[in-house]
Amino acid sequence: MTINNELKTKTKMNHRHQLLTSALLLELGLSSVSAGTILVDGITCTFEDAVQAANTDMVVGGCLPGSGDDEIILPINANITLSDTAVISSNITISGNGSTLDGDSSHKVISIDNGQANLHQLNIIQGSDIYNTGAGISVYQGYLYLNQSTVSANQGGGIHFFDSTGLIRQSTIDNNTTHLAAFYSAGVSVVASNVTINQSTISNNTTYVSTYGGGGLHVGDYYGASYVTLINSTLTGNETNHSGGGLLADSQYGYGVTLDSAGNSIVNNDAASGGGLFTHEADTMLAQTLVSGNTDDVMTGHNWSAVDGTSLLDADNLFGHQNLSGLVGVVPGASDLVPSQLNVSNVVSTTLADLGGPTMTLALPPNSPALDAVSGTCLLSTDQRDMSRPVDGDFDGSAECDIGAVEAVIPDLIFEDGFD
């Protein structure tokens, strides 16, 4: 690489790092001021009527009228089965209190249509959409902030963004599927949209009969460019019979697809090609990201298959195991690590576990090569569980960041045994 090119790359990387920082700051200012508060009790005021009352600022059923930006408060841990899709066409905050909205396997659960939704502590289950455009949550020319929530067991895609903006934070997108012969992903699809995914887990989504779409995450540019910033998150156990088991970033229509990744774990996903990632004509940056144990049918680019586009790496990533990166179309940089461990389980656990924090994550075993392996500046001050980075994980007296979504605190067994 010439000095000029290197400078350009570094400038671009610095710009990307600023993007990551501003994305993290963005979420701090997101809570909207509620002008009206509507209490759902399920008897006099149902959830469906509350959404209508907030949208129209009028009395609906037994619900008080909304007024401007409204907050809907759900009972604690209630199960609410919806007879039809809840359409949000205004600015609404829903405080879920652990309640579940159930689509009854017959329609989308939530559709944000030219509206803004801040959803907190809500479970979205059993939505259905034959077009795979967000059976759980569909966002059309709108805004979604999904916080400390789960989207699971929806058929026809967990979340779908179209011409929209979003932030998914401390949430789980798990065990969603697709309908036959439609496009898009079972987990999260981002089309002509700008979405940040932070401290979240996208797991066990199966895009199996889709004509086209990544297993966990699909970033596409039908109709317009897409930007996805993926930070401190885990993609695992996702599958597709197409390309990109963990994620597919595909600029198929020429508008452009940009993917920035820092501090993520992309592990144990499966596809026909590109088990972890498949990127096509995409502008991709991976930093301090762990990509290992993914599988595909050809087992060459099983961790990452890159076709055309621009790929920026050489930023303390970990690829593969057994001295095999599993990359095709892209080459690990000098600061990227291709570990020699014979088994993936000696690099990272392939089973999600509750390791603290609001989401399940993948543990780093003792002596994992990912421990304290970030040699450059650590980009993130916390991990997916919101625990501080860096922690000294290899007991050499110097705290360095781990590669991936989890900053491990490994007990010093020798010390505990009293032999240190």
The smaller minimum CB distance to Ca ion, of residues 270 and 316, is found at 316
**Structure tokens, 70:** 């409204």
Question: What are the DSSP calls for 16-84, one per residue?
Answer: HHHHHHHHHHHGGG-PPPPSEEEE--SSSS-HHHHHHHHHHTS-BTTBPP--SSEEEEPPTT-EEE-SS
Residues 6+ away with beta carbon under 8 Å from 174: 150, 151, 152, 201, 202, 203, 204, 205
Q: State yes or no: residue 5 binds Ca ion (CB under 5 A).
A: no
Neighbours of 360 (CB within 10 A): 18
For Ca ion, the binding residue among 3, 43, 398, 420 (CB under 5 A) is: 398
d(CA 86, CA 101): 10
CB of 407 to Ca ion, least distance (A): 6
The smaller minimum CB distance to Ca ion, of residues 72 and 173, is found at 72
Cα 160 to the center of its chain, rounded Å: 12
Element (H, E) at 414: helix 413-416
Count interface residues toward Ca ion (CB under 5 A).
Answer: 14
15 burial type by CB count under 10 A (0-12 exposed, 13-18 middle, 19+ buried): exposed
- Residues 103, 82: contact at Cβ < 8 Å? yes
Q: State yes or no: residue 70 binds Ca ion (CB under 5 A).
A: yes
CA atoms within 13 A on the CB side of 143: 12
Residues 88-117 that bind Ca ion (CB under 5 A): 90
Helix and strand tally (H, E) in the chain? 3, 33
CB of 156 to Ca ion, least distance (A): 28
Stretch that binds Ca ion, among 11-19, 64-72, 79-87, 255-263 (CB under 5 A): 64-72
Q: State yes or no: residue 411 binds Ca ion (CB under 5 A).
A: no
Stretch that binds Ca ion, among 82-90, 188-196, 200-208, 242-250 (CB under 5 A): 82-90
Q: State yes or no: residue 383 binds Ca ion (CB under 5 A).
A: no
The smaller minimum CB distance to Ca ion, of residues 66 and 127, is found at 66
The smaller minimum CB distance to Ca ion, of residues 90 and 164, is found at 90
Stretch that binds Ca ion, among 143-151, 185-193, 330-338, 391-399 (CB under 5 A): 391-399
Binding mask 205-244 for Ca ion (x = CB under 5 A): ----------------------------------------
Alpha helical stretches, state H, 230-364? none
The smaller minimum CB distance to Ca ion, of residues 129 and 407, is found at 407
**Structure tokens, 115:** 């509206």
CB of 68 to Ca ion, least distance (A): 5
Q: State yes or no: residue 393 binds Ca ion (CB under 5 A).
A: yes
Stretch that binds Ca ion, among 205-213, 231-239, 318-326, 396-404 (CB under 5 A): 396-404
Binding mask 333-372 for Ca ion (x = CB under 5 A): ---------------------------------------x
Interface contacts to Ca ion, rule CB under 5 A: 54, 57, 66, 70, 90, 372, 390-394, 396, 398, 402
